[in-house]
Amino acid sequence: MKTAMAIVAWLVCAACVYVYVRDNARHRQEMAEVRAEMEAFQRAVDHVMPAVELRHARARAVEATAAPATTVSPSPAAGAGDAIAATDIPERGTVLSAEERQALSEAMVTQAELTFASEGIDESWAGSTARAIDDALSSALPASASMYGVDCRTSLCRVELAFSDEGARERFESDVLLRSTTWRGGLLISHEDPASALVYLAREGHERALALD
């Protein structure tokens, strides 16, 4: 009888140890998964933060020049975080000023550049697409214009164009870049100065790479 009870006790103890070890292993695995997710999230935040901080910086710069009625001033006691929150979100119904529009425009270009710079190269697409763009633009550009390095990555291509004057640039953009159906994807054209254009071309179906939100 005693032997039987001892065997049962050992069996119960063994079962308890087994359950403990199993649950402990499951717990460790879950913790490892959570840790991996947190690390992935942190990497994503680290990737996005430069653009967000730049946008906040632009918003603060805009606030300094915008009319008082269109901005919300942070209280003197507010910290840096409060200042960002107060200026980054326009009030409902507030018409954005020309300066704010310009700042958003610049933020779009910055975002496109950050996206482009962070992309790897899709070998199956980038090389042939860059050559096709180079060929198409070379034949379409006026003789007085210049093209600097067409570079393609995964979802975006980037090319710089220089023209003899603003009129030549406008004609080329209007007649070729915006009207041509050869490039089916989206475009973002930025003008650092009136006679030059920095052009980002989005691979078809990847237009989100050019959007801020």
Partner 1 sequence: MLKYELVLCACIALMFIGVTDNVSARSDTAVHGYARGADRNCFDESWGAMLNNCSTTKQLFIPASIDKHCVSGSSWKVTAQSNNVSSNVCCRMIGIQGTSISAGSWQCLPQFGSPQQMTLNGASVSQNRALYVCEVGPGAKVIGIDWAQSGNC
Q: Which is nearer to partner 1, 4 or 114 (CB)?
A: 114
Neighbours of 137 (CB within 10 A): 19
CB of 63 to partner 1, least distance (A): 15
CB of 197 to partner 1, least distance (A): 9
- Site residues (vs partner 1, CB under 8 A): 90-96, 98, 101-106, 108-109, 173, 177-179, 181, 184-192, 202, 204-205, 207, 210-213
CB of 103 to partner 1, least distance (A): 8
Residue type, 57: A
Q: Which is nearer to partner 1, 9 or 35 (CB)?
A: 35
Q: Which is nearer to partner 1, 46 or 213 (CB)?
A: 213
Q: Which is nearer to partner 1, 77 or 189 (CB)?
A: 189
DSSP-derived letter for residue 75 is P
Q: Which is nearer to partner 1, 13 or 211 (CB)?
A: 211
Q: What is the DSSP string of 177-195?
A: ITT-SSS-S-EEEE-SSTT
Note whether 197 and 142 are within 8 A (CB).
no
CB of 152 to partner 1, least distance (A): 16
Angle between helices 98-118 and 2-65 (to 10 degrees): 130
CB of 109 to partner 1, least distance (A): 6
Note whether 69 and 41 are within 8 A (CB).
no
Note whether 94 and 59 are within 8 A (CB).
no
